[in-house]
């Protein structure tokens, strides 16, 4: 057997190491998940982000309780994202996004660096909890071309989420506004204030109710009443001080209790969800329902669920309005793909399609004045349905949401001072 000299062995070892390193680099370049972790995407130019996103599958965790929203995502967004950007969007439906936040928190606690959640639909208390627990990736919104071109980043309802500065950790996807829904055959002149609403309830016993907090819609109804019974929203646009807040809430509890015996079933029980309230309305047991989607009534008319005489109204002093957002978790393995998906969902085409009630019907997060004349014309030509208020009327009656810390206090107060 021929003996091989030490220098030759050394050369061979070095050659093998270089070969393996080259293979590893080649593999990393072809593996989108690996490439994402090798570059600081928060500073990369957009072409590099888009390049790294190609071939990635983005798991988007979102509330899955709306057939129209799910259809918009699966049949409109996902196919175009795949065709135009080679990014696969996998919608993961959840009942409550708080469950997803808790999942991320558990992964954070065990230092799980590669998670299964790439993109999350979020706002309000869930965003507050995720941000405070460092569950979100970073300030990415200024990296998105469509954010920079079409979003009014300084608008109060964009830069703050339930009173908490977003600081770029989430990008605005859409806007919602609280509206009352009523049967115009039964209510000729709907109330224009919470005071008038209470009077109407007492004149029409059994024909009104609201979901029991902490249901999202029921909680919003209580906050709406808070504004009008305690002097307006301006008092609450500051950090929560529980001690000083408690005495201020007495007029709210008095207001809600004053009409309780005139509610459906004499206020002895409340619908546990908006779906239950909608069912009572559809069956004619109550004459009003409510919710955060101004176009929902028109959609329900088209589906035959609500009577054709259904219409909507807002109060003269305004109604609650908020923005919902898209964010990227700290341990997303496909951050580039998530950024491309979000940027696409902020495009005029995607937002205008979402504005159309044939797809979803909710308000855009884009600034209408930043759109091209052609796109503005497209928006103006969309028929949002007979029961949907004009966009201008809604916009002129938007009221900001309370900082999220107030929500639990009000929900618990309702249980203590009204439900009992």
Q: Global pTM?
A: 0.78
- Is 23 within the bounds of a domain? no
- The reply to whether 270 and 239 lie within a common domain is yes
Q: Report the alpha-carbon angle 171-172-177, nearest 5.
A: 160
Nearest-angstrom CA–CA distance, 328 and 121: 9
Domain total of the chain: 2
- The reply to whether 136 and 273 lie within a common domain is no
Which residues 6+ apart lie within 8 Å of 329 measured at CB? 104, 115, 117, 118, 120, 130, 135, 136, 137
pLDDT in tens, 205-238: 999 999 999 998 999 999 999 999 999 998 898 8
Residue 41 predicted with pLDDT over 80: yes
- The reply to whether 204 and 312 lie within a common domain is yes
- Is 14 within the bounds of a domain? no
Q: How confident is the model at residue 242 (pLDDT cuts 50, 70, 90)?
A: confident
> What is the pLDDT, as a whole number, of residue 396?
87
- The reply to whether 287 and 205 lie within a common domain is yes
Q: Which two tokens stand for residue 399?
A: 């009221």
Q: How confident is the model at residue 405 (pLDDT cuts 50, 70, 90)?
A: confident
- Is 28 within the bounds of a domain? no
- Is 39 within the bounds of a domain? no
- Is 5 within the bounds of a domain? no
Nearest-angstrom CA–CA distance, 396 and 407: 24
pLDDT in tens, 355-403: 998 898 889 999 999 999 999 999 999 999 999 998 889 988 999 898 8
- Is 283 within the bounds of a domain? yes
- The reply to whether 304 and 328 lie within a common domain is no
The CA–CA distances, whole Å, from 209 to 72, 180, 274, 286 equal 31, 12, 11, 7
- Arithmetic mean of pLDDT, 152-175: 93
> What is the pLDDT, as a whole number, of residue 395?
84
- The reply to whether 223 and 312 lie within a common domain is yes
Residue 8 predicted with pLDDT over 50: no
* Higher pLDDT among residues 337 and 237, named by residue: 337
- The reply to whether 382 and 404 lie within a common domain is no
Mean pLDDT computed over every residue of the chain: 90
- Is 109 within the bounds of a domain? yes
- The reply to whether 135 and 191 lie within a common domain is no
- The range of the structural domain enclosing residue 307 comes to 179-321+400-418
Residue 13 predicted with pLDDT over 80: no
- The reply to whether 214 and 282 lie within a common domain is yes
- Is 9 within the bounds of a domain? no
**CATH at residue 222:** 3.40.190.10
- Cβ neighbour number for residue 58 with a 10 Å cutoff: 27
């Amino acid at each position: 057997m021929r003996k091989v000299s030490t220098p030759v062995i050394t050369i061979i070892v070095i050659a093998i190491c270089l070969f393996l390193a080259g293979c590893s680099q080649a593999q990393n370049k072809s593996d989108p998940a690996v490439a994402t972790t090798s570059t600081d995407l928060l500073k990369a130019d957009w072409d590099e982000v888009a390049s790294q996103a190609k071939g990635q599958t983005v798991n988007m965790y979102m509330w899955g309780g709306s057939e129209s929203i799910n259809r918009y995502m699966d049949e409109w967004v996902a196919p175009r994202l795949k065709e135009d950007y080679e990014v696969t969007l996998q919608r993961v439906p959840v009942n409550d996004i708080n469950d997803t936040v808790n999942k991320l928190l558990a992964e954070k606690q065990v230092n799980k660096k590669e998670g299964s959640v790439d993109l999350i639909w979020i706002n309000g208390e869930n965003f507050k909890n995720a941000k405070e627990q460092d569950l979100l990736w970073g300030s990415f919104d200024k990296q998105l071309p469509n954010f920079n071109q079409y979003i009014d980043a300084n608008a109060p309802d964009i830069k703050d989420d339930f009173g908490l500065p977003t600081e770029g950790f989430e990008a605005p996807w859409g806007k919602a506004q609280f509206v009352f829904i009523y049967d115009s055959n039964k209510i000729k002149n709907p109330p224009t204030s919470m005071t008038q609403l209470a009077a109407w309830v007492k004149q029409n016993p059994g024909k009104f109710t609201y979901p029991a907090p902490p249901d999202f819609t029921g909680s919003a109804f209580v906050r709406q009443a808070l504004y009008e019974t305690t002097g307006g929203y301006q008092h609450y646009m500051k950090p929560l001080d529980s001690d000083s807040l408690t005495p201020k809430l007495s007029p709210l509890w008095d207001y809600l209790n004053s009409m309780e015996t005139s509610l459906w079933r004499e206020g002895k029980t409340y619908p546990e969800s908006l779906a239950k309230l909608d069912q009572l309305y559809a069956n004619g047991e109550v004459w009003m329902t409510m919710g955060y989607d101004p176009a929902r009534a028109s959609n329900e008319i088209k589906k035959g669920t609500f009577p054709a005489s259904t219409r909507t109204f807002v109060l003269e002093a305004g109604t609650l309005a908020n923005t919902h957002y898209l964010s990227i978790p700290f341990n997303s393995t496909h951050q580039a793909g998530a950024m491309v998906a979000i940027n696409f969902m902020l495009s005029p085409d995607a937002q205008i399609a979402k504005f159309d009630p044939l797809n979803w019907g909710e308000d855009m997060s884009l600034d209408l004045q930043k759109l091209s004349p052609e796109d503005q014309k497209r928006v103006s030509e969309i028929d949002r349905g007979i029961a949907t208020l004009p966009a201008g009327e809604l916009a002129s009656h938007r009221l900001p949401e309370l900082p999220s810390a107030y929500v639990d206090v009000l929900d618990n107060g309702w249980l203590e001072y009204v439900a009992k």
